Structure 1
Amino acid sequence: MKVEHPQAYQFIMQEELYLLPEDQLSAASSPIVPTDDQVSDGIDAVSEPIQPATTPNQETEIAASTVIAQPVQETPKPPFNYWGENKKQFLILVNYSWVEHIPDEHRVALESILSRKGLSKEDVALLNVNATGPVQLSELTTYFNPTRLVIMGNNALPTGIGNLPINKAVQGKKIHVLYSFSFADMMSSNENKKAFWEQMKTL
């Protein structure tokens, strides 16, 4: 039967229409083809790079890694205040609490002893350890680089030198050492003067 007007179907077919099971499967299996606009939108979304999120801890670590450590500058120790010029690396240690270097009376005696050895003030370095306080032997050897060392009295002994025989010259690896009387002890005893001079001649 041919129907001229589609609206006439509602009067001719009054029953409800249902899809058979095979018709439902056929409709589900039909692929949905995306439009060109949908495909283009998907490509643009994938092509954008994904930036990793930075946590607060990572930001702190990055900032800390850029800090440049500054070198620690050590304050150099002041040079020793000594008498003489140390041209021949001859170091003499004394201890006087009332003068800067050595009393005039003892200085004259020292200059006489040095001249008998062919030495002068320019050849030696006389250090009053009372002005420096306790001083390490290593500090003295580093600063003066002595080849001969005379220690005048037990209160002039540097720290770390160990036990030394009294008034007997000792030859070390690099330094010839004489531990003897102080000038005060020698000035009052001719025997001490003679014993000291005998050892000084070997230096």
Structure 2
Amino acid sequence: MESQVTNNENALRLFFTDDVFVVEDKSVKIELPAVAEAVLPIISISNIEQNAPGIVVENTIIPAQKPSNQSDSYAQKVEILPIVEEPLPQKTFKFLGGNKKSVLILVNDETYDVSSEQGRELLRKIVKAIDLSTPDFALLNYANYSGATFAELEQFFKPQIMLSFGVEATHLKLNLTWAGEIILYETTRIIFAPNLHPLDSDLSSKKSLWGNLQKIK
């Protein structure tokens, strides 16, 4: 006798023509079988070597996992601001005159405020020769500010012309060599000469100075 059991979907439809509904019955509790976890015994490598001397166990070095590049990418996205040096405080100087025409006159006298009587008379002739009056220039005794650089003087006075009597280029930290001619340094025309008192009796230096003064009138 043939089996009456069938799994054919078309054949089952001939017998089950009614709709089937699935209703949850909370009163019925179905206990699921506990899942048994297989626990393998821990076998040390030393035991394997003792029990199976013919087996060679090689030490395998597992490379360290490369850390995520997330932090690297984040560091690359962070904008690194440049370090800006704070400007040095401006050095101040006490001077005579008004500096209206941006003419700086340096003297270097440790005894007098400006120079001796002969030196002051010579200075009056010099400023008159280039059509300057007291409000036009700034007169500074460098002896009171020994060590001041040209950069500091330039920052404070902004001179277009500088007449330096007894103050040499090395005093001002300038890498210049005076050869008797006007020097154009950046935007400043510079004339170097001996200090006023000895200059009054130095005919050669005085003649060179007068020649340069005519060029800046």
The interval holding the TM-score normalised by the smaller chain is 0.5 to 0.7
- Give the Cα–Cα distance (whole angstroms) in 2 for the partners of residues 135 and 183 of structure 1: 20
Q: Which residue of 181, 190, 199 maps to 1:177?
A: 190
142 and 172 in structure 1: CA distance in 2 versus 1, 3 angstrom threshold = same
Amino acid at match of 2:161: R
TM-score by length of 1: 0.57
> Larger % of helix: which?
1
| SS of aligned partner of 2:148 | coil
Runs of 4+ in 1 over 4 A off after TM superposition: 74-78, 154-157
TM-score by length of 2: 0.54
Q: How does 1:22-101 map to 2 (within 5 A)?
A: 79-101=92-114
Q: How does 1:127-142 map to 2 (within 5 A)?
A: 127-142=140-155
Task: Check whether the contact 1:92–1:151 (CA below 8 A) recurs between aligned residues.
Answer: yes
- Give the Cα–Cα distance (whole angstroms) in 2 for the partners of residues 80 and 187 of structure 1: 27
154 and 116 in structure 1: CA distance in 2 versus 1, 3 angstrom threshold = closer
Q: Which residue of 117, 124, 128 maps to 2:130?
A: 117
Q: RMSD of the alignment, in Å?
A: 2.6
Amino acid at match of 1:123: D
| SS of aligned partner of 2:159 | coil
- Give the Cα–Cα distance (whole angstroms) in 2 for the partners of residues 180 and 169 of structure 1: 11
Amino acid at match of 1:174: T
Identity level (%): 24
| SS of aligned partner of 1:201 | helix
Amino acid at match of 1:201: Q
Which structure 2 residue ranges, 5 or more long, are not aligned?
Answer: 1-28, 30-86
| SS of aligned partner of 2:105 | strand
Q: Paired residues, what number?
A: 134
